[in-house]
Structure 1
Amino acid sequence: MTAAALFGRARRFLTEEDWTFAPHERPAMPGSPGSPDHPTRRRIAYGAISILVGLTAGLGNALVSANTYTLQGALGLDPAEIAWLPTVYVMSNVSINLLLIKFRQQFGLRPFALLFVGLYVALTCAHLFVHDFWSAIVVRASSGMAAAALSSLGLYYMMQALPAKWRLKAVVVGIGVPQCATPLARLFSPELLAMSQWRTLYLFELGLALLSFAAVAALRLPPTTRQRAFEPLDFVTFTLYAGAMALFSAVLGLGRIVWWTNAAWIGWSLIGAIPLLAAALWIEHHRVNPLINTRWLASADIVRFAIVTLMARIVLAEQSYAAVGLLTTLGQNNDQLGPFFTIIFIASVVGVVLSAVTLDVERLAHPVMLAVGLVAVAAWMDAQSTSLTRAPELYVTQALIAFSATFFLGPALLFGMTRALKEGAGHIISFIALFGIINSVGSLAGTALLGTYQVVREKANSAAIVDAVDPTNPLVTQRLQAGGAAVGRVIGDPGLRSAEGGALLSQAATREANVLAYDDVFRLVAVLAAATFLYLLFLLLRRTWRARQAARQAMEQGA
């Protein structure tokens, strides 16, 4: 076969197909796939590919976040350096959708799918050759951009898997599948690490990426309608916006580790991020065809949506930070938490399915209110934890939180998306930008807030415990003697035994201070979730009252 023939075949493989759409099959907007009728076998294939691609996108970051201690030792990094790996992933992931949407609109879905899934394969393969900090940073940041494309593809494939009448339910399932990746990563990470340490994690991720590429190449999405989308100012706005989001993400991801007031770069980052974001919004505010519609984003309805969804993301960090952190403090790790993460994974799947089944477009705020209400109850129950608490005592509460995390996400997405579509297809990019900030940066903000509060409360509780320890107290003396007796067989010197007894008592005091601090974190989460629930309840009651008032006035005018 000649080179020209090979080039022609490759071009046909990558090029978007020409398609004559029936009126009911046309894409809802340029850049999204059409909606033709599919036979049952093809729908099943679309659904399987959606789950594969969605989990691949979610596991890219989940495998790193769930195994930071192992990767820290393998790569020879300190705690601040290893924290950069998941942070730079978010830094790149949160902004890239601004350009990906327009890329699909201008070049089509086929080039989009093959280019970015192929890029993800190449970057995952590069992980196997990462041996130092800076190369790991570059690879993780690039992976964050590629994974954003995979999340969109998973959503589009799920939309093809279900009939057109269930299209909104497909959106709920498609956006929920990647959220199930975090408990899944913690569930099988011990087995992967036992095979060949950290490289096995990347080999597994590479295998998923290769399977995703093969599946996407074998079964195309229906083509989209295309239009000229990019404008020169888009890249100016993206550069400013991405820079601001990257700086904010760095501050939130590293602030509690290097500590907020001890690292001068945190202040400089905020000084740089604020004018960058202000400049991006100023440019967009005065554009004829803005990439980000500032007027719509500043409307009361969208501001309320942003506040509620951001609070939901913050309180849902209770599971990933507080619950897992408590169990880790008490000596449990991924090897011992198999049943715990199995229950969380099952609850996450149930949340996705039940959210899709019960979806009501007229009542999209109700699932969000239910989710934050469940988090408030579960967090308050977790606040009764002690140093004797083990994973089985948290099964019910953490299952409720895992269920809430996936149950609320789809309706929250649809709440904003339906309002964006009412204003016009151009508002979708603005909403995706907002939702990306809330979902990704909000998760970082939740971990930063809870982590900072935990450290502050641990210091306060530790000081209170130490002040209460009186060496003349018979109970304290007995505890010191018991600690010394425990090491009596290996330490013969009485002075050293007494010092070792004091060290063991200090360790116990630190552990108790940490447990009390996590209980304080649980109470904080419960208060924030309850406040969000009450705010949503107020909004719903106010809307109902206004609707009744309007109906009463209409009846009076008609009479």
Structure 2
Amino acid sequence: MDNTPPPPDALQPPSLARRLGSAATGTLLGLTQGFGLYLVSSNLSSIQGSLGATAAEASWLLSAYFATAASATLLLTKVRLSMGLRTFTIGSLLIFLAISALHLATDSLVSAVAVRAALGLAAAPLTSLTVFYMMQSLPARFAPFGLLLGFAALQVPGPLARVVATDLLEIGQWHGLFLFDVTLGVLSLAAIHAVPLAPQPRRNAFCRGDLLAFPLYATGLALLCVVLSQGRLHWWTDQPWLGACLALALTCIGLYAMFDLGRDNPMIDLRWLVSPYMLRFVTAVLLSRVVLSEQQVAIVGLMNALGQSNDQMRPLFALASLGTLLGFPLAGLISLRYGPRSLSVISAALVAAAAWMDAGSTAATRPQDLYLSQTLMSVALAGFFSAALQLGFGPVLQDGGKRIVSFLAVFSAAQYLGTLLGSAWINTAVEWRRQFHYQALVQHLAIGDPEVAMRLAQLGGSLARWINDPIARAKQGTALLVQQVNREAVVLAYLDVFQMIAALSVAMFVWLGALAWLNRRRAAATPSSPAAAPLPTTS
């Protein structure tokens, strides 16, 4: 047991005030962790100006964060089990606060990338602390709902960051974003002192072999994150160093697997991980993250291409935040009534419907035209996340929690890699389809065509007030026409991507529906099947 003596009130049944305090603390921790990631990822174009960097250079801020965050859950879960929950809670939040404050002193790209890499590691503990506090806020029999509410608090900052970022950037540009996050960190530190977590058993979770296994595992995941985040910007086959990173990543992961499989106490139970159930689970998590990237990547990209800024998209993402917030309780009710497998099927149907609605967009589409589809997409995100948690955590906890470290490591890595994979796939597909549509549109533009000539004359005439030379006006008119053609090609490319996402979601709907049907048949034959069991109600 943690050596720190519990306060007297911790030995008594939690009062209503204490439960409310735990819920408020969990919410605050979730917002702190989420904003630390999403305030940067949703404002790279503004941040690059503050740091004097190009778009490709600024993207390393995300690469650095994901590279360390992908493996941090495994390391820090073991640290928490070894140190005890209370010592870990205070120590991790102090480190997070110190690193967040370092952002206020960074004025160059190199220092900013270093600080982001450190924050990716330091922010990982806040995820588990958020969940612990939410579960502590409810009676033990409602612990599954506390789990869902904890992850809801972690997901809401995604769309909400685009709502609050504009005002923060006006306060202090890059530093303004982290002034807000430091403030949340200070409030979180005060909250965990006011409402401490109940102590938990601690044990030595490290083995001597981890000194070799973890660096191989972490290096492999970090290099994969770099390839996925940088591949589209530098183009996949144009830069030899991308191939070298990918080869080295696969080598490190392969060496780690060979080493860990030969140990009695591996860091991750790889044999359990390659079981059919876990392979289906990880595949479903990755695919759900890919299709859910439509909101943060495809929709934002389309709106930016049409000249819409974060400020103009604030109402859209306010509704998306509300959809996420309401989606988790709704997902819990659906799961309680129909089961988590049916919830995942419904979520896939919602994504397909939302993506199909977005596929009807045009160059005249504005954020207000996407309110319904993106609210549905946010509800689907909550549904997928809730189903994944229940289908994954349920069997793990019913097995006595022996594989909880392995599950948390795999689930976290799948979330981060799935997010990067979704972004890479969407941006690559957009560029590929843009080139296709641009060539197709240009083929129909002939100078001798009366309609083209009239359009060029109109565009050139619109510049007559500023350009007197008719030859210069004609050149500028041609340039404007090329811009319009390119914008139309970009819009058509995004519409193709929306259709691809809808098709992938339909395929997921069929696959998940078939798995749910087969599970019902097995459950009818063997009612005690652990794979079909709901999430246990133990804390």
TM-score by length of 1: 0.91
Partner Cα distance (2:338, 2:458) in 1:
65
- Please say if residues 37 and 163 of structure 1, whose CA atoms lie closer than 8 Å, have aligned partners that are also in contact: no
State the match for 1:67 in structure 2. Answer: 43
**Does structure 1 residue 194 correspond to structure 2 residue 170?**
yes
Cα distance change, pair 36–353 in 1 and its aligned pair in 2 (3 A): farther
Q: Give the drift of 1:328.
A: 0.8
- The within-5 A match list for 1:99-114 is 99-114=75-90
Partner Cα distance (2:398, 2:270) in 1:
16
- Please say if residues 420 and 428 of structure 1, whose CA atoms lie closer than 8 Å, have aligned partners that are also in contact: yes
- The within-5 A match list for 1:65-144 is 65-144=41-120
Specify the code of the residue in structure 2 equivalent to 1:231.
Answer: C
- Please say if residues 207 and 265 of structure 2, whose CA atoms lie closer than 8 Å, have aligned partners that are also in contact: no
Specify the code of the residue in structure 2 equivalent to 1:185.
Answer: A
**Does structure 1 residue 298 correspond to structure 2 residue 274?**
yes
State the match for 2:535 in structure 1. Answer: none
Per-residue CA deviations over 1:453-507 (Å, capped at 9, x if unaligned) read 0000001100100011121111111000000100011111111111111111111
- Please say if residues 36 and 222 of structure 1, whose CA atoms lie closer than 8 Å, have aligned partners that are also in contact: no
Deviates more, 1:412-421 or 1:60-69: 412-421
Cα distance change, pair 362–434 in 1 and its aligned pair in 2 (3 A): farther
Per-residue CA deviations over 1:418-437 (Å, capped at 9, x if unaligned) read 22233442311111111112
For residue 500 of structure 2, the aligned residue among 509, 524, 538 is 524
Q: Secondary structure at the match of 2:123?
A: helix
Q: Give the drift of 1:127.
A: 0.4
Q: Give the drift of 1:442.
A: 0.4
**Does structure 1 residue 356 correspond to structure 2 residue 329?**
no
For residue 326 of structure 1, the aligned residue among 294, 302, 305 is 302
Q: Give the drift of 1:81.
A: 1.2
Specify the code of the residue in structure 1 equivalent to 2:404.
Answer: I
State the match for 1:557 in structure 2. Answer: none
Higher-Rg member (1/2): 1
Partner Cα distance (1:94, 1:361) in 2:
34
Q: Give the drift of 1:192.
A: 1.3
Partner Cα distance (2:222, 2:251) in 1:
13
**Does structure 1 residue 50 correspond to structure 2 residue 33?**
no
- Please say if residues 220 and 253 of structure 2, whose CA atoms lie closer than 8 Å, have aligned partners that are also in contact: yes
Partner Cα distance (1:226, 1:117) in 2:
19
State the match for 1:17 in structure 2. Answer: 4
Specify the code of the residue in structure 2 equivalent to 1:321.
Answer: V
State the match for 2:476 in structure 1. Answer: 500
State the match for 1:39 in structure 2. Answer: 15
Per-residue CA deviations over 1:19-40 (Å, capped at 9, x if unaligned) read 699xxxxxxxxxxxx9973000
Cα distance change, pair 423–259 in 1 and its aligned pair in 2 (3 A): same
Q: Secondary structure at the match of 1:336?
A: coil
Partner Cα distance (2:495, 2:459) in 1:
27
State the match for 1:462 in structure 2. Answer: 438
Specify the code of the residue in structure 1 equivalent to 2:4.
Answer: E
- The within-5 A match list for 1:308-457 is 308-360=284-336, 363-457=339-433
Partner Cα distance (1:238, 1:443) in 2:
23
- Please say if residues 173 and 356 of structure 1, whose CA atoms lie closer than 8 Å, have aligned partners that are also in contact: no
Partner Cα distance (1:41, 1:549) in 2:
46
Specify the code of the residue in structure 2 equivalent to 1:47.
Answer: A
Q: Secondary structure at the match of 1:202?
A: helix
Q: Give the drift of 1:18.
A: 4.0
State the match for 1:174 in structure 2. Answer: 150
Deviates more, 1:491-500 or 1:241-250: 491-500
**Does structure 1 residue 156 correspond to structure 2 residue 143?**
no
State the match for 2:534 in structure 1. Answer: none
- Please say if residues 117 and 213 of structure 1, whose CA atoms lie closer than 8 Å, have aligned partners that are also in contact: yes
Q: Secondary structure at the match of 1:332?
A: coil
State the match for 1:26 in structure 2. Answer: none
State the match for 1:271 in structure 2. Answer: 247
- Please say if residues 172 and 411 of structure 1, whose CA atoms lie closer than 8 Å, have aligned partners that are also in contact: no
Partner Cα distance (1:245, 1:529) in 2:
27
- Please say if residues 372 and 532 of structure 1, whose CA atoms lie closer than 8 Å, have aligned partners that are also in contact: yes
Specify the code of the residue in structure 1 equivalent to 2:247.
Answer: I
Partner Cα distance (1:194, 1:471) in 2:
46
Which ranges of structure 1 fall in alignment gaps of 5 or more residues?
Answer: 1-14, 22-33, 552-559
Q: Give the drift of 1:546.
A: 4.2
Deviates more, 1:407-416 or 1:287-296: 407-416
- Please say if residues 177 and 352 of structure 1, whose CA atoms lie closer than 8 Å, have aligned partners that are also in contact: no
Specify the code of the residue in structure 2 equivalent to 1:317.
Answer: S
Specify the code of the residue in structure 2 equivalent to 1:513.
Answer: A
Q: Secondary structure at the match of 1:197?
A: helix
Partner Cα distance (1:105, 1:197) in 2:
39
Aligned Cα root-mean-square deviation (Å): 1.8
Q: Secondary structure at the match of 2:447?
A: coil
Q: Secondary structure at the match of 2:34?
A: helix
- Please say if residues 372 and 533 of structure 1, whose CA atoms lie closer than 8 Å, have aligned partners that are also in contact: yes
Per-residue CA deviations over 1:374-418 (Å, capped at 9, x if unaligned) read 101110111111101111111100110011112221221221122
- Please say if residues 251 and 269 of structure 1, whose CA atoms lie closer than 8 Å, have aligned partners that are also in contact: yes
- Please say if residues 335 and 342 of structure 2, whose CA atoms lie closer than 8 Å, have aligned partners that are also in contact: no
Q: Give the drift of 1:357.
A: 3.6
Cα distance change, pair 100–36 in 1 and its aligned pair in 2 (3 A): farther
- Please say if residues 281 and 292 of structure 1, whose CA atoms lie closer than 8 Å, have aligned partners that are also in contact: no
Q: Secondary structure at the match of 1:232?
A: coil
State the match for 2:466 in structure 1. Answer: 490
- Please say if residues 286 and 417 of structure 2, whose CA atoms lie closer than 8 Å, have aligned partners that are also in contact: no
Partner Cα distance (1:496, 1:140) in 2:
47
Deviates more, 1:171-180 or 1:191-200: 191-200
State the match for 2:218 in structure 1. Answer: 242
Partner Cα distance (1:295, 1:142) in 2:
31
Q: Give the drift of 1:122.
A: 0.5
Deviates more, 1:355-364 or 1:190-199: 355-364
- Please say if residues 16 and 111 of structure 1, whose CA atoms lie closer than 8 Å, have aligned partners that are also in contact: no
- Size of the aligned set, in residue pairs, is 525
**Does structure 1 residue 540 correspond to structure 2 residue 512?**
no
Deviates more, 1:359-368 or 1:452-461: 359-368
Q: Give the drift of 1:361.
A: 9.2
Partner Cα distance (1:197, 1:229) in 2:
42
Partner Cα distance (1:321, 1:287) in 2:
41
TM-score by length of 2: 0.94
- Please say if residues 152 and 382 of structure 2, whose CA atoms lie closer than 8 Å, have aligned partners that are also in contact: yes
State the match for 1:28 in structure 2. Answer: none
Partner Cα distance (1:320, 1:20) in 2:
43
Specify the code of the residue in structure 1 equivalent to 2:94.
Answer: G
Partner Cα distance (1:383, 1:458) in 2:
15
Which ranges of structure 2 fall in alignment gaps of 5 or more residues?
Answer: 528-539
Per-residue CA deviations over 1:183-233 (Å, capped at 9, x if unaligned) read 111001111112222221111111111111111122210001112221111
Specify the code of the residue in structure 2 equivalent to 1:322.
Answer: A
Q: Give the drift of 1:84.
A: 0.9
Partner Cα distance (1:324, 1:533) in 2:
25
Partner Cα distance (1:151, 1:550) in 2:
36
Partner Cα distance (1:194, 1:19) in 2:
44
Q: Give the drift of 1:358.
A: 3.6
Cα distance change, pair 68–165 in 1 and its aligned pair in 2 (3 A): same
- Please say if residues 35 and 160 of structure 1, whose CA atoms lie closer than 8 Å, have aligned partners that are also in contact: no
Specify the code of the residue in structure 2 equivalent to 1:297.
Answer: L
